[in-house]
Structure 1
């Protein structure tokens, strides 16, 4: 099984197990395994050097029975239909678990954004919108930032969509504040990891002050997660990005690393920090491990090297289904992605609501509402796990699948 189709395979494994526990039929499993709509488009652009390049773009709408499809748009060289399909499926479960009125979708363009100029990225983004605009929008499918994209990319999407349909801020979330973005959206996923971590610690009487953490990923999610966990008194001992990894037993200097990353694009060569081989940040001695970069990074091949006692899934699908079983056998607790990293989609929901109502919430309200929703979702997962004797992922999938199934039932499907 390759890293690119791990997410879909793992989703189907967890879905089948949940449906078996809940007594659902094979037809229900089939319905929840399939996407409602899958799109692939080819996007030609003229590069800055005058050459023609063609990129493949994808958008998958998995389920909209609970509301419009919602999910990110990623730019990465490994994007393909299998990956996007799996991620869209997880979004359906994520929005159901936190009980917001949205479905699941995901998109991506197979490209390396580091190798494209700002002009090339803008042309690529706008042409992608032109090819799929009939299938997206505030009442059907709402995109948001993901790996390799940011608020600026969402601004281009907003601009292109609005040029066709008139001013439509609710058609995309994660926009710049000047275009109707929400306060707190940029930090939301990482900040939400801190909320879930605090709820976990309180429920299971796990002291956080001085607890050690390793974080894979120092992009938007990893950076804000490191800040949130540090604010809880936790000690971040290792961090990494796509090209570098560092460790310091006494705790890394987040400010120095952020400065180095901004100025040089790498985390290495900061005084007092040890450089690690790629992937070693997953294997260091620590209490908590937060894989917050890409999917499929903890597999059957390296699960036995994981020394953390708790894994908090900051990325989507970072633990394969095989690795999930091996970690469970070792007594490692996994806080699943559909709970742990759901802060991003929750605040995207807030942005969508604000845009539809033509209002703007202050940051304090965003943070308070996010804390309420994530804390409630976490307690529901913890309670179901305790009542049924389940691990946290199984409990989360039970809750999410049952909510989607209930919606399907009352629609008459």
Structure 2
């Protein structure tokens, strides 16, 4: 099952049975509250007209305004956006964030755009987005977007509204009243959760780590694990993977990537494909790229003790069933990669109160929130004799269900 929305619905079904949710709650959570699909016609630098397809999904807003994730990728489709919106809904609830789940983006390869084209497209997206604002729906960064694009979004929104509203857009630069630590939050949060998981599983320092995806998330988590004494033996990006069984110097690799734009040909390594990288023997495996990379086709060949899902939906239900039978522990995406969602909540709070925190405060509050969510998840898993994924979803769905019932929706 590679359709990400079907993966999300499969998890909903399994977790709702463990939680004992009412059928009407499950029925309502099986589809988004709102779906926006629209086109953005744009004249390119060479004078040609291109028409881009754009999306935004408000999956559920029982707990509060929807927010986060704008993705600019060439293969974006509605089912992916729906799944991401659902995962964000659960992620917010798991982490105790008073917000609903929103996700969106444009079907485009941003690498093929000039900076001027990217800015015009980004501003057009915000102009055409039907519902937005600090109390309604707050776009954040995701794959293909950045602090720069979020700054353009904020400026366009404020031009439309005629007043300043820093809380209306997440992941913007600190100079525009964003929060420090925003772009590092997912990787930092994943590190905090990993440190709790390795304690529970008695995985010592010096153990090996494989990271699929050396982007914003993978490189931060890898750097922090490397500094903590864990041995990162392989990483990959869009160009493929690199491997050294003795370990990589992650900080030198980061400098190399900053200089060359890729991990390709990093000295002292051998080439490994993204597919083969997932099957390397290691103690901790961190899929940190895209969804549906661990499936029934390769789950039998995964050789690790612990999978930390730094990407959204990297494991399909069929793949997970195989891994569970083999005793491999999975700490799910809605917990592991919730750091960005948590810090985005902090960003909104800071913007609304005009009070801004330093990086030590942000990371301290992030650690407190995400570790609490991890411990609540492990407690539920033990109490209900279920997987960590089901446990996280049970905790999140129960909060959403109570809010829906209090509102009279079900």
Distance 1:138 1:319 in 2: 33
Give the structure 2 partner of residue 93 of structure 1.
90
> Contact 2:223–2:251 (CA<8 Å) still a contact in 1?
no
Whether 1:261 aligns to 2:257 is yes
Match of 1:347, SS state, is helix
User: Deviations for 1:53-110, whole angstroms, at most 9, x for unmatched residues?
Assistant: 1110000000111011022001111111110001000000000001111110100110
Which 5+ residue runs of structure 1 have no aligned equivalent?
Answer: none
After TM superposition, give the deviation of residue 342 of structure 1 in Å. Answer: 0.3
1:135 is aligned to 131
Shift of 1:206: 2.8
Correspondence 1:324 to 2:320: yes
Q: Which residue of 2 aligns with 1:109?
A: 106
Q: 2: CA distance between counterparts of 1:266 and 1:206?
A: 30
2:291 aligned residue: 295
Counterpart among 215, 221, 229 of residue 219 in structure 1: 215
Contact 2:172-2:178 within 8 A present in 1 as well: yes
The alignment status of 1:348 with 2:348, answered yes or no, reads no
Instruction: Find the partner of 2:407 among 400, 408, 411.
Output: 411
Q: What is the rounded CA distance, in whole Å, between the counterparts of 2:315 and 2:173 in structure 1?
A: 32
Cα distance in structure 1, aligned partners of 2:159 and 2:198: 48
SS at match of 1:224: helix
Instruction: Quote the Cα distance in structure 2 between the aligned partners of 1:22 and 1:349.
Output: 26
| 1:121 aligned residue | 118
Query: 5 Å matches for 1:7-406?
Result: 7-132=4-129, 134-165=130-161, 166-207=163-204, 209-406=205-402
> Tell me, what secondary structure is at the counterpart of 1:148?
coil
SS of structure 2 residue aligned to 1:144: coil
Contact 1:244-1:266 within 8 A present in 2 as well? no
The TM-score, its normalising length taken from structure 2, stands at 0.97
What is the Cα deviation at residue 128 of structure 1? 0.8
How far off its partner does 1:138 sit? Answer: 0.5
* Whole-angstrom distance in 1 between the partners of 2:297 and 2:113: 34
Distance 1:127 1:398 in 2: 38
**Secondary structure, counterpart of 2:68 in structure 1:** strand
The question of whether the paired residues in 1 share the 8 Å contact of 2:244 and 2:269 is answered with yes
* Structure 2 segments unaligned to the other structure (5+ residues): none
CA contact (8 A) 1:256 1:270 kept: no
How far apart in 2 are the matches of 1:335 and 1:370?
A: 18
8 Å CA contact 2:21, 2:398 repeated in 1? no
Q: Secondary structure at the match of 1:135?
A: coil
Regions of 4+ moved over 4 Å: none
TM-score (norm 1): 0.97
Cα deviation for residue 295 of structure 1 reads 0.7
Give RMSD over aligned pairs: 1.1
Partner secondary structure for residue 145 of structure 1? coil
Q: CA deviation at 1:398?
A: 0.7
Shift in Å, 1:244? 2.3
